[in-house]
Amino acid sequence: MNRAKVNQGNNLADYHDVWVIAEQNEGKIHPVTIELVGEGRKLADSLAKKLAVVVPGADAEDEARKLLHYNVDKVYYIKHPLLKDFSTEGYALSISELILEKQPEVVLLGATSIGRDIAPRIAGKVGTGLTADCTKLEVDGEDHKLLQTRPAFGGNLMATIVCPKNRPQMSTVRPGVMEKAAYHQEIHGKLEIFIPSLKEEEIRTVLIEKVKSDKKKVNLIDAKVIVSGGRGLKAPEGFALVRALAEKVNGEVGSSRACVDAGWIEHLHQVGQTGTTVRPDLYIACGISGAIQHLAGMSEAKYIVAINKDPNAPIFKVCDYGIVGDINEVIPAMIEAIDKNGSFEI
For the bound state, the minimum distance from the C-beta of residue 334 to ligand FAD, rounded and expressed in Å, comes to 13
Residue type at position 42: K
Q: In what order do the strands lie in the sheet with 130-134?
A: 130-134, 169-173, 104-110, 16-21, 51-57, 74-79, 190-194
303-308 and 321-324 strand pairing:
parallel
For the bound state, the minimum distance from the C-beta of residue 317 to ligand FAD, rounded and expressed in Å, comes to 12
Chain-centre distance of CA 161, in angstroms?
Answer: 19
Note whether 277 binds ligand FAD by CB under 6 A: no
Note whether 231 binds ligand FAD by CB under 6 A: yes
When the beta carbons of 46 and 328 are compared against ligand FAD, the nearer one is 328
Note whether 232 binds ligand FAD by CB under 6 A: yes
For the bound state, the minimum distance from the C-beta of residue 257 to ligand FAD, rounded and expressed in Å, comes to 3
Note whether 273 binds ligand FAD by CB under 6 A: yes
Residue type at position 295: L
Note whether 291 binds ligand FAD by CB under 6 A: yes
When the beta carbons of 43 and 134 are compared against ligand FAD, the nearer one is 134
Q: Site for ligand FAD (CB under 6 A): which residue of 85, 179, 310, 336?
A: 310
Q: Site for ligand FAD (CB under 6 A): which residue of 82, 118, 130, 327?
A: 327
Stretch that binds ligand FAD, among 1-9, 117-125, 215-223, 256-264 (CB under 6 A): 256-264
Chain-centre distance of CA 260, in angstroms?
Answer: 20
When the beta carbons of 168 and 232 are compared against ligand FAD, the nearer one is 232
The CA distance from 244 to 186, in Å, is: 44
For the bound state, the minimum distance from the C-beta of residue 255 to ligand FAD, rounded and expressed in Å, comes to 7
For the bound state, the minimum distance from the C-beta of residue 329 to ligand FAD, rounded and expressed in Å, comes to 8
Contact in structure between 224 and 281 (CB atoms under 8 Å): yes
Note whether 258 binds ligand FAD by CB under 6 A: yes
The CA distance from 80 to 98, in Å, is: 13
Number of residues that bind ligand FAD (CB under 6 A): 28
Note whether 24 binds ligand FAD by CB under 6 A: no
For the bound state, the minimum distance from the C-beta of residue 97 to ligand FAD, rounded and expressed in Å, comes to 36
Q: Site for ligand FAD (CB under 6 A): which residue of 38, 180, 309, 318?
A: 309
When the beta carbons of 19 and 239 are compared against ligand FAD, the nearer one is 239
Stretch that binds ligand FAD, among 96-104, 109-117, 206-214, 250-258 (CB under 6 A): 250-258
Where in 149-178 is the site for ligand FAD (CB under 6 A)? 154-155
When the beta carbons of 77 and 264 are compared against ligand FAD, the nearer one is 264
Could you list the residues that contact ligand FAD (CB under 6 A)? 154-155, 230-232, 256-258, 270, 272-275, 287-289, 291, 293-294, 297, 307-310, 313, 326-328
